[in-house]
Amino acid sequence: MPVRYQPLAAFLIAQPPEADSVTLTLAEVAQIVGQPLPAGASARGWWSNQLASAQARAWLAVGWRTVWQPRQFPVQIVFVRALHPAPSRYPASDERDSGGRSC
């Protein structure tokens, strides 16, 4: 997971189990990650749930998805718990170290 969005992943992990969703403004997300979001973050596509994007890997890896809230000012992003976390594109560190073989 990209280090830049690790704080967002940690924030989502810290949500109580009964919280099915969390709504955040762009400013709140920027505050959580500790730096301004890129200009593209105000566009819907930036928040798509695609593993190709670094930011999406952060929330997908910890079992959350995003829902775009059109016509909200300020822009709000709703994170909802996914039924299943997205599969990781990378093997666990012990698999990488052993070449995927058991000893």
Between 30 and 44, the higher pLDDT residue = 30
Kindly give the pairing relationship between strand 21-25 and strand 76-81: antiparallel
Please give the Cα distance from 89 to 69 (Å, whole number).
28
SS3 content of the chain, % helix, strand, coil (to 5): 40, 15, 45
Domain residue spans of the chain = 3-96
Q: How far is CA 100 from CA 1, 44, 61, 89, 94, in A?
A: 20, 38, 21, 14, 8
Please give the Cα distance from 94 to 71 (Å, whole number).
46
pTM of the model: 0.76
Condensed to tens digits (0 to 9), the pLDDT of residues 8-22 reads 999 999 999 999 999
Condensed to tens digits (0 to 9), the pLDDT of residues 41-86 reads 988 899 999 999 999 999 999 999 998 776 767 788 999 998 755 5
